[in-house]
């Protein structure tokens, strides 16, 4: 993170005994110079108010503010992918956000919400490097596309205008 790079993983594990807010706070602190550990994140007195404010700001931006106090044991109203695609990486204000298949396992509506959020993040000045197999999501979100197969470039360019509106 020191160079402004943040990477998310396709399959993530949440701290299930911590709230959504604490999970975002943990992500924020994993990229800081201090490495407090999960027990410290559970104590609100260990962190400056500005870090909590930043977490609440990002939760509001991603539409997860009302879930801040729910445990990370994956309530039915949000997906772990949604949580890890948006709040904790955004909390650290990356210059480059690398996303590994952020819409895997999502239905069309969920995919559209995530890709719209990714577009907004991009439009606010964060460069997005997206690895994704869902071509509808890619074509409707990306300005430039590179297709790779086992490390070999097969194609590069911009999506056709008629395809870019599929999301």
Q: Please state which of the ranges 8-12, 33-37, 143-147 shows the lowest mean pLDDT.
A: 33-37
Which pairing describes strands 96-100 and 127-131: parallel, antiparallel, or unpaired? parallel
Q: How confident is the model at residue 166 (pLDDT cuts 50, 70, 90)?
A: very low
Structure-model confidence comparison of residues 74 and 167, the more confident one: 74
Residue 163 has pLDDT above 90, yes or no: no
Q: How confident is the model at residue 150 (pLDDT cuts 50, 70, 90)?
A: very high
pLDDT of residue 167: 45
Q: What is the mean pLDDT of the chain?
A: 76
Measured distance CA(125)–CA(145) in Å, rounded: 18
Residue 165 has pLDDT above 70, yes or no: no
Closest CA to 157 of 147, 167, 148, 166: 147
Residue 19: exposed, middle, or buried by beta-carbon count in 10 A (0-12, 13-18, 19+)?
middle
Q: Where are the alpha helices (DSSP H) in 31-68?
A: 38-41, 49-61
User: Which residue ranges make up each domain of the chain?
Assistant: 12-93, 95-167
pLDDT tens string 35-61: 555 445 555 556 677 888 888 888 888
Measured distance CA(126)–CA(124) in Å, rounded: 6
Multiple choice CATH, 95-167, 1.20.990.10, 3.40.50.300, 3.90.1150.10, 1.10.510.10: 3.40.50.300
């Amino acid at each position: 993170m020191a160079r402004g790079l943040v990477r998310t993983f396709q399959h993530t594990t949440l701290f299930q005994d911590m709230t959504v807010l604490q999970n975002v706070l943990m992500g924020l602190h994993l990229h800081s110079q201090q490495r407090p550990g999960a027990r410290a994140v559970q104590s609100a007195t260990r962190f400056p108010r500005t870090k909590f404010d930043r977490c609440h700001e990002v939760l509001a931006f991603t539409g997860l503010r009302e879930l801040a106090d729910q445990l990370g044991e994956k309530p039915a109203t949000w997906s772990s992918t949604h949580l890890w695609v948006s709040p904790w990486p955004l909390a650290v204000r990356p210059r480059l956000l690398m996303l590994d298949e952020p819409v895997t396992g999502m239905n069309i509506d969920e995919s559209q919400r995530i890709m719209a959020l990714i577009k907004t993040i991009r439009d606010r000045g964060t460069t997005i490097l997206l690895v994704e197999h869902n071509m509808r999501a890619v074509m409707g979100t990306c300005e430039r596309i590179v297709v790779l197969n086992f490390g070999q470039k097969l194609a590069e360019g911009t999506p056709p205008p008629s395809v870019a509106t599929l999301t």
